[in-house]
Amino acid sequence: MAGSFLLPKIKKNDIMVHMKHRTKAPKADYGNTRFRSLSGSLKRVFAGTFFVVIISFLVSMYLISERERRDYAMRDAGSALMTLSASISSSISNYTEISRLIMTEDRLTTFLKADSDSVSQSMINDARFGIMEILNVKEGVDAVFVFREDYIVAATDRVSYEYDHELLEKYSWKKDIYEARGKAVVSLNNNNVALKKDKTPVVTIGRAVYDIYTQKRTGILLMDISPEVFTKILNQQNYTNICILGTDGTYIAGKKEYEKYYSSDPGQGDIRYSSIDTGHGNELVAATRIEGLPIVLIRVSPFGTEGIPYSIIYVLMVLLFIFIITTLYIGAYIARNITSPILKLSKEMEKNKRSGELRKIDANLQYSELNLLKGDYNSMIDHVNELIDTLVNKEKTLRKSELRVLNEQIKPHFLYNSLETIGFLALDSGADNVHYALETLGSFYRNFLSKGDRVIRLSKEISIVKDYLSLQKLRYGDIIEDEYDIDDDTYDFMVPKLILQPLVENSIYHGIRLKGEKGIIRISAHLSDHTLKLTVRDTGVGMSNEQIEKILTKSAPDTDEEGSSFGLWGTIERIRMYCDDEDVVSIVSEPGEYMEISFTIRAATHTDRMDE
């Protein structure tokens, strides 16, 4: 037919090629740092886990061994110091009993109770001999001093000691002895009132002496214990790494070089531990003060291998070996049964993609989960093919409807009728009306073509309708009247081209003309919430509900049917495809009175379409 167009043939492969170019996915590059393979990641995870476990095991073993070595050394040192403390305390107790016997010796009590005027050298010697007879049954007493209240002294050693006569007359050196009221008080070096000339330190047991009958204090007894006593105790217990000091730091017995490790009184009964570098490695220093005595014990011992829990370490090493074997097995299992099949599946997908066709893959996979993944992929391929078929059919329908609309508008009879109208005007009205008609026809086709755009502003769509109605008015005269209710904010709204002209044409040929009287066509456009509502209302013959239902639900007709128009149906389908929504059109009509058709177009829709 003259003026018709050939509909381009749309192929499924053309759609696939178009989609391939628009949605081309980045090719997997396992050497690229942005894409990491699962197998490589698993290898790194297993290697990292293995490394962390080994390091953790070694660190744990080291810490456990060091802690056990230290704990064992501390327990051993504490046990040795407690044993030695008990031995020294027991020995001091024995000497305390000796001091008690000395206090009751008859010749000594006679010396203490005698008047100052009656005390003679013979009486002093007798007291000294009485003391020495008691001391003959006990070794280790270096000297005994008995001071009367008038400071006359009877001493078993009058040569090796020298007295501090100034301090002797003061109360400070005997204060603690007096306050003990006869109990034994252990101190160092006779409270400095009588010191050995060779500076040898001694441990002193001091007691206040009282008359048995009158309970009157008669003097003070000081008994010095020789350092050899403590040396003998150390030798008996085979302690070669212990030093015995006084609380003032005075060396008494044992390993003298350890006295440099004494800093302060560690407190009675407590054991203070510290670690020092002796030049032979770190060693443990343990110090304690014997309870009730001014004596400090210091023991220095190396951190040996004793106490290391070798049995626990062996068990943990076996567990570590089992962990390593299990980790290697799990890694190999995952690589063989998970990552390798996934890579195989990925290769099949890549092969499918390179072929340029959407085909199902056929890979033999061992596990149901991977077969499920393959099935999902094949199902997706089926679904995509269905979508492409639907897209092809929609595109065919859309192009067909657009071309049919164009074909209807440039039919020879339309051009012929327009030219006939112009010729009639030329004969009847003169050249001015002819010029107006030609300008209107030219404006109509200029806006109609719109440089090939599929989407235009609403203002241009309104211009097309106005030009069309101007030409129709030239032909039909006053039978047609048009009205417009267009909001200003709608003029720039983008709409598909030629959605109003087919509706207006339908109103003229299938509405107003059939009614045989003057009719009104009213076009309105309003914008609310970014949604355009476009309405065309005419006062023609209208349509029945059956006709409306048929127009809204039927498939594309091959030819126009009585009482309906292909232009109306095609416009409805174009709007539905453009908005991707079936529920964008409504038709309201009362037969013999009016018909009103409305479209709703969202602003987001026109933005998406403009990107095409």
pLDDT in tens, 527-579: 998 899 999 999 999 999 998 888 888 654 544 444 455 678 888 888 888 88
Nearest-10 crossing angle of helices 227-236, 38-103: 130
580: number of Cβ within 10 Å = 12
**Confidence bin at 487 (pLDDT 50/70/90):** very high
The pLDDT value recorded for residue 87 is 92
Region 487-500 average pLDDT: 91
155 beta partners? 145
Q: What percent of the chain has pLDDT over 70?
A: 76
Looking at the predicted structure, is the pLDDT value of residue 256 above 70? yes
pTM over 0.85: no
As a CATH number, domain 68-302 is 3.30.450.20
594 beta partners? 590
Region 11-28 average pLDDT: 49
The more confident residue out of 307 and 512 is 512
Instruction: Report DSSP letters for 37-90, one per residue.
Output: -HHHHHHHHHHHHHHHHHHHHHHHHHHHHHHHHHHHHHHHHHHHHHHHHHHHHH
Please give the structure tokens belonging to residue 592.
């013999």
Length of the chain: 612
What is the rounded CA–CA span in Å between residue 344 and residue 286? Answer: 69
Q: What percent of the chain has pLDDT over 90?
A: 25
Tell me if 264 sits within 8 A of 211, measured CB to CB.
no
Q: Which helix (H) or strand (E) holds 406?
A: helix 368-409
**Confidence bin at 453 (pLDDT 50/70/90):** low
Tell me if 503 sits within 8 A of 570, measured CB to CB.
no
Q: What is the mean pLDDT of the chain?
A: 79
Residue bearing tokens 């079936």: 582
Looking at the predicted structure, is the pLDDT value of residue 259 above 80? yes
Q: Which residues contact 143 (CB under 8 A, 6 or more apart)?
A: 155, 156, 157, 160, 161, 202, 223, 224
3-state SS assignment for residue 533: strand
What is the rounded CA–CA span in Å between residue 571 and residue 566? Answer: 8
Region 246-269 average pLDDT: 85
The pLDDT value recorded for residue 403 is 55
Q: Which CATH architecture has domain 452-610?
A: 2-Layer Sandwich (3.30)
The pLDDT value recorded for residue 205 is 93
**Confidence bin at 370 (pLDDT 50/70/90):** low
The pLDDT value recorded for residue 140 is 86
The pLDDT value recorded for residue 609 is 42
Between 163-172, 364-373, 467-476, the lowest mean confidence (pLDDT) is in 364-373
The pLDDT value recorded for residue 366 is 63
Region 145-166 average pLDDT: 88
Classify residue 412 by burial, with Cβ atoms within 10 Å: 0-12, 13-18, 19+.
Answer: exposed
The more confident residue out of 195 and 368 is 195
The pLDDT value recorded for residue 203 is 93
**Confidence bin at 2 (pLDDT 50/70/90):** very low
Q: Where are the domains of the chain?
A: 68-302, 452-610
pLDDT in tens, 28-84: 444 444 555 666 777 788 788 878 888 888 888 777 777 777 888 888 888 888 999
Looking at the predicted structure, is the pLDDT value of residue 308 above 80? no
The pLDDT value recorded for residue 590 is 93
Exposure letters 479-510 (e unless 16+ CB within 10 A, then b): bbebeeeeeeebeebbbbbbbbbbbbbbbbeb
